[in-house]
A and B are shown apart, each in its own frame.
Chain A
Amino acid sequence: MITKDDIKNYIKKIPPAPKVLKQTLALLTEGELMQASKVAESDLTLKSYLKDLVNKPIYGFKNEVSEVSQIFGILGVSGSQQAVYNYMLTLLSPDDWVVFNLNEKNFYELQARLSARYNKILKHLNIIDKDIQSAISLLPASIIVAEALFRENKQDIELIRSAKMIDYNTVLKRLAKVDLFDICSQIAKKWEMPNKISQIIQTSSGLKISKDKEINNIGKWIHLLLFYELSQPIFIEAGLNDFIDFQVDFVEDIYEDFLKVMKVEN
């Protein structure tokens, strides 16, 4: 169904990060918010994406924000880098979704929800680190990769899943000895994302424990956050609730804190 060669070809086809995005990210790294916003402004699709993202209700801004300089000003360096990486990821998303019942709007919604809630988590954990903040942007890549690799085999994978409770990540691992999160890491490498982002995403699969305590802890929060979002009707109906295996034991010790941060009442 899916071979190692298919995965190699998929990664090979991923385009390098566009020049404008590279420049914007480089300027953000230097803390040059104004200059970064000027470069970003020249990419009209990026501008439109950023505007759409920060004006979503989950970001909670009362007035509409329309200029990139305003957006970067409000989000700060870390938030801006996170938003630009979010946009970068959309370049990989398909025009039409086959495996998952998603569309551009729903996918952007997932990105926005994950980012906004993850920022809350980082605030709770007192973590100020722009690379850690950007890690959440790479998480939905796992969904994009699953869509890309399984779209030609939709009926087949449904048949297998009707006979055995088995998630996409496990099927891929058993067939090609590589999982969705390994592929996400390869995308991160290709796009020259900081190594920390890749490590966090691997840990957030719930299957690979990191020796770094901080990364491990963030991985847990992201894993639980992902399933919190994938339990929302919009994403259940998209078929995302069981696309990877939820590792309940992995997140057990942060569960109570998570409910408090997300204000979930029993």
Chain B
Amino acid sequence: MRAILKDGIAVFYPQGFLDGNSASSMLSLEDIKATENLKTDLVLVSLKKIIFFNKNGLEIFVRMLLKVRKANQAKIGFCDYDTKKFNSIMKFFNNELSFSLFNTLETASLFASSFKNQKKNILLYSESKSQRSVMAIELHNHGQNPIITQTQEEYNEKSKNKKAYDVLIENTYIGSMENGSIAARVSGNAIIYNVSSFLDASITNSFNIFYHNNSLKAGFRLFIFEAYQVVSMNIHAVNFFSKLASAAAEYNATICFVALSTEKTTKKFQETLEDSGIIFFEQLDSILDDKKLLAELGASTATNVKDKRSLNKAMVTQLPNFIQATVDTIKMMTNAEAKKESASIYTIKIQETENKIASSIGFYGDIDGMVILIFPENIAKKACELLIGEETDDKELIMDALGEFVNIIGGKIKALLADNDIRIKITLPRTYEEVSELLTVADNRKGVQVDLTFDNDHFSFFLTR
């Protein structure tokens, strides 16, 4: 069983009966290895579809999840259960857990500092006083507004007022956890890295510079380092971030730090970082909720990269595979047949920009570059219907599903290239509500453009470096 990655959280969804026999079949070493490669900071098992479990089954799962924690310092645990299941787990482990329990996935996302869940009024209760404090501190650190209740009665009474609270947290337990990995997630068009603990020379190993560089190439221009859980930063880390900022400047990209106060690093170090162009903010939502600021920082538009590299022979040879993967995926999701209209080499040209949305995804490895896709809205909507489950005009939902859809295309490209012994990794996709935004990234870039039609709608594919 493979974990599904959404908003920076990897979740396993087993079904049915979980015991000593079934657990080791449900979660294999191969599955754990694949999860480690996701480099996420929170790995959970959803118990939503588990009707029966016993201690042996849970212990096997925990042992497997601990391997991910050891490799990635990820937080691990279970989510989606009722009071009865929560009490059983606490009883099985004598109220001392080395992993976490979240009553819902939504609760878990609050502790993963997901961008979608900032500034929420959260009513919480735990029988354990220390747990109440741990949860409140964590939530506060993630920009939430926790309201602690001291007794079950108080919680029951207050929770009746449904309008007063965005989220209710009970039957939740925060296990002892370390988190030193640098997980990345996308919020709109900003990439957010979560840094924690002591920032020192080890940052050069834990930060995926290839991924970062290719995100720059894919058009991302705003990178936010979330430092709520940072304890301190030394000169080696300062040097690292200064170099990162200088490199980003070549792309007119911005690097920001959130919650890196002078208690965590010296004033002198902060000045050094500021001199290299890094901007500091107190809260993540003060950036993400301010559209004007986002635009100024570069998250809505992106200046074209100075380094316009030409396609090389290796890329051109693989072009049919890129096209094939894209066409096959769209066909698979829409049952619409593709017709190739024209292909040209040089710069991107979009004749009609109305009612079109776009996405770009970078890749790196044996070959590196970027795929840009410009969809007619109805093709994108149709393609995303399979993922959403219904027709919708909700733009945010469509853009979210478009990201998943382009991720599937990226996966297909990766698989087709692997058949030709070419190994690549893909970045998170960037989405553009307006084609004009995309053009600021891709205009004048050299590459191959292939125009296609799906059910008479024009669709453009552009491969560049």
Contact = CB atoms under 8 A, between A and B. Distances in A.
Interface residues of A, number: 37
Interface stretch (A79-87, A136-144, A241-249): A241-249
A120 to B, nearest CB: 16
Contacts of B439: none
A233 interface: yes
A44 interface: no
B13 A165 contact: yes
Contact of B51 (A175, A227, A236): A227
Interface in A142-182: 153, 155-156, 159-166, 170-171, 174-175
Contact of A224 (B26, B51, B405): B51
Q: How large is the interface on B (under 10, 10 to 19, 20 to 34, 35 or more residues)?
A: 35 or more
B204 interface: no
Nearest to A242: B15
A171 B196 CA distance: 39
Interface string B1-33: 110100000010111111101101110000000
A169 B59 CA distance: 31
Contacts of B411: 159, 162-163
Interface of A (DSSP majority class): helix
Contacts of B1: 236, 241-242
B52 interface: yes
Contacts of A159: 329, 408, 411-412, 415
B373 to A, nearest CB: 16
A12 B335 CA distance: 21
B386 interface: yes
A228 interface: yes
B25 A237 contact: yes
Nearest to B27: A236
19 contacts: A1-B333, A155-B415, A156-B328, A156-B329, A159-B412, A159-B415, A160-B332, A165-B11, A175-B386, A227-B15, A227-B16, A227-B51, A231-B17, A231-B19, A233-B21, A236-B1, A241-B1, A242-B15, A246-B15
A230 interface: yes
Contact of A228 (B16, B21, B333, B415): B16
A165 B54 CA distance: 24
A164 to B, nearest CB: 5
B389 interface: yes
Nearest to A155: B415
A125 interface: no
Given A232-B22, A255-B51, A264-B52, A174 B15 contact: no
Contacts of B243: none
A227 B415 CA distance: 32
B22 A174 contact: no
Nearest to A234: B25
Contacts of A3: 335
